[in-house]
Structure 1
Amino acid sequence: MKRLFTFGGTARLLGTLSAAMILAASPQAFADTAYPDRPVRVVVPYPAGGNTDIIAREVAKRLSVKLGQNFIIDNKPGANSIIGTEAVAKAAPDGYTLLVAIGAYANNFALYKKLPYARSDLAPVSQLTNTSLVLVTGRPGITSVKQLVTAGQDKNAPLTFASSGVGSAAHLLGERFARSSGMTSTQHVAYKGSSEAVSDLLAGRVGYMFDAVSAMGAHIKSGRLTALAVTGGSRSPLLPEAPSVREAGYPDMVAYAWSGLLAPAKTPKAIVDKLAATISEVLKDPELVAKLASISTDPVGSTPAEFDKFLISESDVNGKVIKALNISLD
């Protein structure tokens, strides 16, 4: 009887301790199974209707189905994405406020001396997409990267290149290309938006420009612009005749426009990992792949660690250009 009583008492004690341990661990240990139990806000720091917004809405729609809660897009444009990014950086780290970021997020840490948030305030979740850009010109007689570079090395008539603004992805890529190719006399012309830049490009008032294939496709198809190279690691199926920059002899110019998802720092790892895994799954949806292809974008899907490594690389590469040009947007 004594042994039976001891065994029973031990069992009861172990059961009590196990229950206590489960209750103590439940907020994080079981976050992956409980999350989400209410709607999730996904902040897009750009206006509705653009490619970033389209990507965010398509992914959010499928996350809603997979995870059983609404992922609601909240457009908070302004200040080169800083307004929306700050809102997420200062949100509760519970997985219910997320940020869709693009290249400006990584570049802003070098472009601004003072930001209302630090890099450590946000945690990478997953890279969503990559978008190959295209190098185009409207100048007659220039049909290859080699010819463009030769023209750009003429100090008596230096080429100009267009972008949608100082510090923009197109500006930094144009500067990188000028340095990589030895076109040291090339001059940057900043516009208030892509439409004005494209107008002068078509008229031949500026020499070249980098932009998304989807934005330039119609002009290339009509013959008004010539696609010299795409910036992805391989040729684009939308422009199969245009070589990659790697093929054209500039492997260090492989670059993409991209989008990714971040969460407030200290969001439970179980939630971050669950989001990353689900994103990788939904990005394989054939319907979504086709939708992204229509805007010349490819799905990625990555682990938080992989996305963190990518962000560090992006900040480093473009940060060096920003520093060399002494650009500050404060």
Structure 2
Amino acid sequence: MPCTSASRRRLLQAGAALAAGLALPAFAQGGYPDRAIRVLVPYPPGGNTDVIARDVMRRLSARLGQPVVVDNKPGANSILGTDLVAKAAPDGYTLLVVIGAYANNQSLYKKLPYTSKDLAPVSLLTRTSLVLITSRPDIKTVEDLVREGNKPGAQLQFASSGIGSAAHILGERFVRAAGIKSSLHVPYKGSTDAINDLVSGRIAFMFDAVSAMGPNIRAGKLTALAVTGKDRSPLLPEVPSLREAGYPALVSHAFAALLAPAQTPAPIVERLSREVAAVLADPELKTRLAAISTDPVGSTPAELASFPADEVKVNGEVIRQLGVTLD
């Protein structure tokens, strides 16, 4: 059969595609990275998420031999920074650190400027235990709190850092699981004001990070009733877990995870996942994270893919029952 100009073009195109496919793993494994990597944290500097990101990325930079720069892009309940990465070039040089809001936002907003399909999982970085606390002197256990909430005419007020926040959704899940008949969620603009009202007794209970509540617990201003992790926290060894208290379905963690734009080449994603896992195995980093009651994880992309999906399912159901939207 004669080789026409059209068939020659098809052969050349096929050859170019094959060459690109063969070259990709070599580029991803040998040539990547060859310049600085930007990691967006869609929250202000100084918080737990920012601290975790900077500790991990500083060590990742040393392993990769290139700068890994943390760039804080807060705004719109983390949507601003997330959208920037969702629309970034899928080349491994723009990454994103997300927490529980990433999963909750999928149910809280009817329309987001991105979808979960626009981002690819890299690694689950950390899990952090929360603690259920109160300042009421007559409440010493979870059972006491439930009993208080079911007294005739009683209404348990609980605080969070905002509508749709992880603490809000967990508080609602607790109320339902415990069968508390009357409760009221009181949202605040941030944890500081919520903690002040909690300490004063105007609020009955709240969930927050162990590290944030530790000073007030140690000072005797707050009583820790249970931690949300599967096991007790090393920072509060005398405090039972919610599983011990009879609520295994409420075992949960705040989490931090690393994502990349969708279509980032698999060899790059896998390289990043392996390097992050090595970073999180560092004993010094483990010690630093333990100080804020945080466990390093370092998952594969496949393992991370199922984690936010579970969060979306469980928390999304509560959000739908509440009829909460933030649009």
Calculate the TM-score normalised by the size of structure 1.
Answer: 0.92
Contact 2:82/2:96 (8 A) holds in 1: yes
Q: In structure 1, what is the equivalent of residue 180 of structure 2?
A: 183
The change in CA–CA distance for 1:155 and 1:263 in structure 2 (over 3 A counts) is farther
Query: Runs in 1 of length 4+ with deviation above 2 angstroms?
Result: 18-24, 27-30
What SS does structure 2 have at the residue aligned with 1:259?
A: strand
The change in CA–CA distance for 1:23 and 1:248 in structure 2 (over 3 A counts) is closer
Calculate the TM-score normalised by the size of structure 2.
Answer: 0.93
Q: In structure 2, what is the equivalent of residue 117 of structure 1?
A: 114
- Counterparts of 1:23 and 1:206 in 2: how far apart (Å)? 61
Which amino acid counterpart does residue 178 of structure 2 have in structure 1?
Answer: S
Report whether the alignment pairs 1:163 with 2:149.
no
Q: In structure 2, what is the equivalent of residue 72 of structure 1?
A: 69
Cα offsets for 1:81-104 (capped at 9, x unmatched): 000000000000000000000000
Q: In structure 2, what is the equivalent of residue 256 of structure 1?
A: 253
Q: In structure 1, what is the equivalent of residue 80 of structure 2?
A: 83
Q: In structure 1, what is the equivalent of residue 296 of structure 2?
A: 299
41, 48, 70: which one aligns with 1:51: 48
Cα offsets for 1:189-241 (capped at 9, x unmatched): 11111111101100111100000000110111111110000000000010011
Contact 1:163/1:171 (8 A) holds in 2: yes
CA RMSD in angstroms comes to: 1.5
1:75 Cα deviation (Å)? 0.7
Contact 2:234/2:293 (8 A) holds in 1: no
- Counterparts of 1:20 and 1:209 in 2: how far apart (Å)? 56
Q: How many residues align?
A: 313
1:178 Cα deviation (Å)? 0.1
- Counterparts of 2:229 and 2:273 in 1: how far apart (Å)? 24
Q: In structure 1, what is the equivalent of residue 282 of structure 2?
A: 285
- Counterparts of 2:267 and 2:103 in 1: how far apart (Å)? 25
List aligned pairs for 1:1-330, cutoff 5 A: 25-330=22-327
Cα offsets for 1:225-266 (capped at 9, x unmatched): 100000000000100110000000000000100100000000
What SS does structure 2 have at the residue aligned with 1:79?
A: coil
The change in CA–CA distance for 1:20 and 1:46 in structure 2 (over 3 A counts) is closer
What SS does structure 1 have at the residue aligned with 2:131?
A: strand
Identity of aligned residues (%): 63
Contact 1:231/1:255 (8 A) holds in 2: yes
Cα offsets for 1:291-326 (capped at 9, x unmatched): 112222110110001001111001111100100000
The change in CA–CA distance for 1:20 and 1:156 in structure 2 (over 3 A counts) is closer
The change in CA–CA distance for 1:277 and 1:160 in structure 2 (over 3 A counts) is same
